[in-house]
Amino acid sequence: MALNTVPAGVAPNYLTAYGQLVQELWLLILLLAVWAYFCGCFNGAVIVSKYILHDDVRGHGSGNAGLTNFYRTFGGPLTFVVILCDVLKAVAAVLVAVFVARHFGVHETAIPMVKYWSGLFCLLGHMYPCMFHFKGGKGILSGGTIVWMIDWRVALVVWGGFLILFLLTKYVSLGSVWAGASFPFISWYCYPYPVIVLLAFLLGGLVLWKHRSNIVRLVHGNENKFSIHHNRDKS
């Protein structure tokens, strides 16, 4: 049975669609993973700080190659370049993967899996970029963009909780922990299929793993709060 057909009167089956996808298009799956990973490797904070400001952000503050540490360290309008870079790479990773999958006849029932798959490897590229010695960011901006690309319902829960916690506490990391923890469960609710749930837990787990030091500081009460004022000497 072709990937773009479903027998009349039979409900689309995610496991069947995924099984066919793996059997018939395994090379495409691999290429989409490579594409998404290298999209993720274009870390905005590292590129702007290292090649435009000639001062690697990873040598300042928390040492993280992410938006928050970049803003705390440098501030200024180049922060928007970092945002643009990290958002666009996530959009490109998912959109191109979906376009290519549809072009090769992947059934619509498997498209959510393509989104989660490409999102996972984009996040891996952001966190562990091979071109920057595998030292990247924590994936909140890119991951948050991926969430919107996957499903607006998932995004509302993840981003809604993030914004509420951040506005109430001024802890970016607390909102980030919510995002990583809630993502697998709202994904499970919206897409109760084993493969998607597995990919969702991997995505959420990566975010939580990268925030493990923040979690420790939150527990001990010495985590940094967000401030509109940047300070190069503040960790």
234: pLDDT strictly greater than 60: no
* pLDDT per residue as tens digits for the range 29-64: 899 999 999 999 999 899 999 999 989 898 888 788
Q: How far apart, in whole angstroms, are the C-alpha atoms of residue 182 and residue 161?
A: 9
Q: How far apart, in whole angstroms, are the C-alpha atoms of residue 110 and residue 120?
A: 16
Dihedrals phi, psi of 190, to nearest 5 degrees: -80, -35
Q: How far apart, in whole angstroms, are the C-alpha atoms of residue 189 and residue 179?
A: 15
What is the mean pLDDT of the segment spanning 65-84? 87
Rg over alpha carbons for the chain, rounded to the nearest Å, is: 19
In what helix (H) or strand (E) does residue 29 lie, and over which residues does it extend? helix 26-41
Handedness of CA 147, 153, 155, 157 (dihedral sign): negative
Contact 86, 67 (CB under 8 A): yes
26: pLDDT strictly greater than 90: no
* Contacts made by residues 215-219, CB under 8 angstroms, sequence distance 24+: 215/173, 215/177, 217/173, 218/171, 218/173, 218/174, 218/177
Task: Give the predicted TM-score (pTM) of the model.
Answer: 0.84
Token pair for 204: 């959420």
Q: How far apart, in whole angstroms, are the C-alpha atoms of residue 177 and residue 224?
A: 14
Token pair for 170: 């001024």
What is the structure's pLDDT at 3? 46
* pLDDT per residue as tens digits for the range 137-192: 999 999 999 999 999 999 999 999 999 999 999 998 999 999 999 999 999 999 99
